[in-house]
Chains A and B, each alone.
Chain A
């Protein structure tokens, strides 16, 4: 029986338990809820929880354990030579699985009969044609050994599956019985329900931590694999990036890091002055009307998906820079360039700089401004000499956050910066970044044992560490600054 059906049955048992538990608690006080410890529905919920939770926990554990037992049985049935490598064992197990699943489908669709399965023991090659009649693909060369193992696989899986169904449903019914029996007026049903609910809430907030751990683990694991095949000195200090899928590739980080930092620098040169001046104008000079129009308009820029900026770089900005600036000045003839990607990325991060700076400038106490104006300074002098220095740590934090955004940005550089890994100072040349190379090494046909693929995980980890460092630094600065005036 499928997992979905078992879950539905357990849910049905839980629903019945809810109704009976509530009923039992109420009938014990002759329908007077005031004599119960908790509201009647809590008795129902507590019965439903005792029915549902243990059964589901057992089912989930079972689903992890069952494949292990099946694999063990299959392996002993296969009688592989002791010298067989791990990869061979996995491949054989996969083939056995494919045959077993195909036979099951054949049986359920009626092209195979239970009693004729023995025939394939002698003539395994007849299995594939028999299945093809029902459009069941089987791309495995069936040998008697494999077929035998497949039968073991089917038997074990079927036995264990039946056992699981029986145990889980029995557990649900037993849980329901225990839960309902407990529903006496003195039973603290609400406390039990609330404790269960609290576990759910805590579990949900742990998911954020689990995500971080999963991110770090997945990358660290593959990165150590990578460094086992490729020397780390080469990766961190080599200045050539030329992956060759036949081996002998040079996978130096430096050209990618250079491209990433160069593009981010241009983006910041565009975004910081524009964002900062916009924020100053909006918070210090603009009337309410102007502010209520201009601020949302600038923030739209943050809501536009990056693929849109990427296309903008590809079809509008790139050709424009090439035709109007790069080619007339003889600086390059490439549509994709550091300048293109940097400019467009700069536009994208303007709102990050401006909104955060805006908040921070607004947090500077009015008394500082009043003091400065009272001494006869003009408004711009007040801003330059009082407000900005007071807000500086926060603004630096905002800029760091924007920088981290720029370094991790992918689609704009994939479409706007090009794919050539080179270390050049000419901003009108195509260069490439860490994110571009992660995409190009991990899309298409990938072999997760070659350093050319695994390098993407090392690049990802580098990127993660850089952006994490910037974020933590920025958050630390912003937080510390906020406390200063609160």
Chain B
């Protein structure tokens, strides 16, 4: 016989006792923890994106000084025959002097000169890069000489910083590169319409610039280098990855050998990326003697990293094609090879494409292995067209970002955040395409 409890517990369905209340409170707490954790993750994402975007959006706008001046033909083309080869003898320094005279004249005639300012101060508001830009413009079109042209000159990085709130009058007093007078002049020029912030295409199209000229630094070479590497990855990783998955998924016998390959692939997908950089350095550069900082080496390393990703997603896509398709093909007399290449592969294509794009997006953002194969080098010359250009030195988008974070001038922080916006924009587009492909072509069997 069971013992009855000494005092039967009095409980009611309508009135909660202490224990039930405690349990319900624990239940609510548990749910709140979950919600909090999700909120923290999403908050972290938002803070990350906001901090990058608020710091980097200004990189797409740049301060330019705009004024009219006559280009003196006698100094810029001493021979007077408008032959670009002859005119190329005048160096950037010659153009710098011309540009400075023009600016001083423009500022003095506008009558906006602040007190105590010297000509050196006036010319100091221009970037050293402005003269090189003018030289290129004149060499491309020698007929400009002797005419009155409108000059769009890059302002000095510190003036640009003043426009964007990075430089103040107080900091200018302690700065060797700028004086408060120059900032006052910049204010006055703004009022007269001689200087303004404008959209900066150069940030996306121009090559990197030296440590001293953040205002001229652009992503052109890095974007081209990244594009070349993606081409290499696309040409190599996709066929190899798809071929490997077809073998493993459709033909491989289940034995120890294929098991080794499978374990291998899942491990390769989790090997730290820097180890692939060591591989690239030891094999492709020290052993095969491919050139350093060349997109071909970067592309090969990224190919090896991307193959496992592509294999994993391709196998999933092949597995999703129902066996009935294969059986039907075999039933009407196709060989196994024909059933795979004529029927299974086309049906798995959307899944394979999605996986490929996601693998490419991963490869695009990869930095660490590229540091080891010399992509950190300072490269100003655009690589040639492929295939020869694949062996020219180039940079890559994420490595350019890293490079800029290592520079002293605070203006480069803005540049690197801006470059991240470009990188994220590319990733967003790629992932969006992948999602659209999946939505558009996904088949449920």
Interface string of B296-317 (1 = CB under 8 A from A): 0000000010011001000000
Interface residues on B, range: 35 or more
Interface 9-residue window, one of B47-55, B73-81, B129-137: B47-55
Q: How long is the Cα–Cα vector from A197 to B26 in the complex, in angstroms?
A: 62
Q: Does B431 contact A (CB under 8 A)?
A: yes
B307/A211 in contact, CB under 8 A: yes
Question: How far apart are A111's CB and chain B's nearest CB, in angstroms?
Answer: 20
Q: Does B13 contact A (CB under 8 A)?
A: no
Q: List the B side residues contacting A309 at CB < 8 Å.
A: 48
Once A201-B247, A315-B51 are accepted as A-B contacts, the answer to whether A409 and B264 lie under 8 Å apart by CB is: no
Interface of B is mostly: helix
Q: Does B37 contact A (CB under 8 A)?
A: yes
A439/B337 in contact, CB under 8 A: no
Q: How long is the Cα–Cα vector from A460 to B273 in the complex, in angstroms?
A: 11
CB-CB contacts below 8 Å: A370-402 with B: 378-381, 383-384, 401
Contact check: which of A197, A305, A350 meets B423 at CB < 8 Å? A305
B34/A208 in contact, CB under 8 A: no
Q: List the B side residues contacting A207 at CB < 8 Å.
A: 240, 244, 307
Q: How long is the Cα–Cα vector from A379 to B30 in the complex, in angstroms?
A: 9
Q: List the B side residues contacting A214 at CB < 8 Å.
A: 279, 283
A211/B268 in contact, CB under 8 A: yes
B286/A378 in contact, CB under 8 A: no
Interface 9-residue window, one of A15-23, A116-124, A270-278: A270-278
B271/A280 in contact, CB under 8 A: no
Q: How long is the Cα–Cα vector from A312 to B53 in the complex, in angstroms?
A: 11
Q: List the A side residues contacting B27 at CB < 8 Å.
A: 378-381
Q: Does A99 contact B (CB under 8 A)?
A: no
Given contacts A278-B41, A316-B47, A347-B48, 5 further A-B contacts (CB under 8 A): A208-B261, A208-B307, A209-B261, A306-B368, A442-B281
User: 10 nearest interchain CB pairs?
Assistant: A408-B272, A305-B365, A281-B34, A218-B282, A204-B243, A380-B30, A410-B368, A201-B247, A277-B37, A205-B244
Q: List the A side residues contacting B376 at CB < 8 Å.
A: 443
Contact check: which of B239, B266, B424 meets A308 at CB < 8 Å? B424
Q: How long is the Cα–Cα vector from A273 to B252 in the complex, in angstroms?
A: 41
A378/B24 in contact, CB under 8 A: yes
Of listed B41, B52, B361, B364, residue having the most chain A CB within 10 A:
B41
Q: List the A side residues contacting B328 at CB < 8 Å.
A: none
Interface 9-residue window, one of A226-234, A240-248, A464-472: A464-472
Interface 9-residue window, one of B154-162, B171-179, B397-405: B397-405
**Beta-carbon nearest neighbor of A205 in chain B:** B244
CB-CB contacts below 8 Å: A409-466 with B: 409-411, 414-415, 435, 438-439, 442-443, 448, 456-457, 460, 463-464
Question: How far apart are B164's CB and chain A's nearest CB, in angstroms?
Answer: 15
Question: Contact residues of A with B, CB < 8 Å?
Answer: 190, 194, 197-198, 200-209, 211-212, 214-215, 218-219, 221-222, 273-278, 280-282, 285, 294, 297-298, 300-301, 303-312, 314-316, 347, 350-351, 354, 378-381, 383-384, 401, 404-405, 407-411, 414-415, 435, 438-439, 442-443, 448, 456-457, 460, 463-464, 467-468, 471-472, 475
Q: How long is the Cα–Cα vector from A281 to B31 in the complex, in angstroms?
A: 7
Contact check: which of B33, B48, B277, B361 meets A277 at CB < 8 Å? B33
Once A201-B251, A281-B31, A305-B423 are accepted as A-B contacts, the answer to whether A298 and B274 lie under 8 Å apart by CB is: no
Once A277-B33, A281-B38, A294-B38 are accepted as A-B contacts, the answer to whether A205 and B274 lie under 8 Å apart by CB is: no
CB-CB contacts below 8 Å: B353-372 with A: 361-362, 364-368, 371-372
Q: List the B side residues contacting A457 at CB < 8 Å.
A: 278, 282
B34/A277 in contact, CB under 8 A: yes
Q: List the B side residues contacting A273 at CB < 8 Å.
A: 37
Question: How far apart are A465's CB and chain B's nearest CB, in angstroms?
Answer: 10
Q: How long is the Cα–Cα vector from A301 to B48 in the complex, in angstroms?
A: 10
A218/B283 in contact, CB under 8 A: yes
Q: How long is the Cα–Cα vector from A200 to B427 in the complex, in angstroms?
A: 32
Q: List the B side residues contacting A301 at CB < 8 Å.
A: 41, 44-45
Q: List the B side residues contacting A305 at CB < 8 Å.
A: 364-367, 398, 423, 427
B424/A438 in contact, CB under 8 A: no
B33/A212 in contact, CB under 8 A: no
Q: Does B40 contact A (CB under 8 A)?
A: yes
Interface 9-residue window, one of B93-101, B188-196, B211-219, B412-420: B412-420
**Beta-carbon nearest neighbor of B423 in chain A:** A305
Q: How long is the Cα–Cα vector from A274 to B35 in the complex, in angstroms?
A: 10
Q: How long is the Cα–Cα vector from A214 to B284 in the complex, in angstroms?
A: 11
Q: Does B275 contact A (CB under 8 A)?
A: yes
B247/A204 in contact, CB under 8 A: yes
Question: How far apart are B137's CB and chain A's nearest CB, in angstroms?
Answer: 26
Q: How long is the Cα–Cα vector from A391 to B281 in the complex, in angstroms?
A: 42
A298/B42 in contact, CB under 8 A: yes
Q: List the A side residues contacting B251 at CB < 8 Å.
A: 198, 201
Question: How far apart are B346's CB and chain A's nearest CB, in angstroms?
Answer: 16
**Beta-carbon nearest neighbor of B278 in chain A:** A460
Q: How long is the Cα–Cα vector from A475 to B265 in the complex, in angstroms?
A: 12
Once A205-B243, A308-B52, A460-B274 are accepted as A-B contacts, the answer to whether A475 and B263 lie under 8 Å apart by CB is: yes
Q: Does B255 contact A (CB under 8 A)?
A: no
Q: List the A side residues contacting B125 at CB < 8 Å.
A: none
Q: List the A side residues contacting B307 at CB < 8 Å.
A: 207-208, 211
Q: List the A side residues contacting B35 at CB < 8 Å.
A: 281
Q: Does B1 contact A (CB under 8 A)?
A: no
Contact check: which of B29, B48, B335 meets A312 at CB < 8 Å? B48
Q: List the A side residues contacting B4 at CB < 8 Å.
A: none
B275/A463 in contact, CB under 8 A: yes
B278/A410 in contact, CB under 8 A: no
Q: Does B248 contact A (CB under 8 A)?
A: yes
Of listed A221, A380, A409, A457, residue having the most chain B CB within 10 A:
A380
A468/B431 in contact, CB under 8 A: no
Q: Does B267 contact A (CB under 8 A)?
A: yes
Q: List 6 A-B contacts (CB under 8 A).
A: A207-B240, A212-B267, A307-B365, A308-B48, A315-B55, A410-B274
Q: List the B side residues contacting A467 at CB < 8 Å.
A: 270-272
Question: How far apart are A196's CB and chain B's nearest CB, in angstroms?
Answer: 10
Q: Does B439 contact A (CB under 8 A)?
A: no
Q: List the A side residues contacting B41 at CB < 8 Å.
A: 274-275, 278, 297-298, 301, 347, 350-351, 354
Q: How long is the Cα–Cα vector from A90 to B394 in the complex, in angstroms?
A: 29
Q: List the A side residues contacting B40 at CB < 8 Å.
A: 274
A205/B282 in contact, CB under 8 A: no
Question: How far apart are B108's CB and chain A's nearest CB, in angstroms?
Answer: 41
A380/B26 in contact, CB under 8 A: yes
Q: How long is the Cα–Cα vector from A415 to B417 in the complex, in angstroms?
A: 14
**Beta-carbon nearest neighbor of A350 in chain B:** B41
Q: How long is the Cα–Cα vector from A122 to B431 in the complex, in angstroms?
A: 66
Q: Does B232 contact A (CB under 8 A)?
A: no
A282/B38 in contact, CB under 8 A: yes
A439/B274 in contact, CB under 8 A: yes
Q: How long is the Cα–Cα vector from A75 to B58 in the complex, in angstroms?
A: 61
Q: How long is the Cα–Cα vector from A282 to B265 in the complex, in angstroms?
A: 30
Q: Does B246 contact A (CB under 8 A)?
A: yes
B37/A281 in contact, CB under 8 A: yes
Q: Does B23 contact A (CB under 8 A)?
A: yes
Q: List the A side residues contacting B239 at CB < 8 Å.
A: 204
Once A201-B251, A410-B368 are accepted as A-B contacts, the answer to whether A381 and B398 lie under 8 Å apart by CB is: no
A202/B247 in contact, CB under 8 A: yes
Q: List the A side residues contacting B368 at CB < 8 Å.
A: 306, 410-411, 414, 435, 439
Q: Does B260 contact A (CB under 8 A)?
A: yes
Q: How long is the Cα–Cα vector from A457 to B23 in the complex, in angstroms?
A: 56
Q: List the A side residues contacting B416 at CB < 8 Å.
A: 311
Q: How long is the Cα–Cα vector from A305 to B264 in the complex, in angstroms?
A: 24
Of listed B34, B239, B401, residue having the most chain A CB within 10 A:
B34
B23/A205 in contact, CB under 8 A: no
Q: How long is the Cα–Cα vector from A301 to B416 in the complex, in angstroms?
A: 20
Q: List the A side residues contacting B405 at CB < 8 Å.
A: 310-311, 314, 415
Question: How far apart are A309's CB and chain B's nearest CB, in angstroms?
Answer: 7
Question: How far apart are A388's CB and chain B's nearest CB, in angstroms?
Answer: 11
Q: How long is the Cα–Cα vector from A475 to B45 in the complex, in angstroms?
A: 29
Question: How far apart are A396's CB and chain B's nearest CB, in angstroms?
Answer: 16
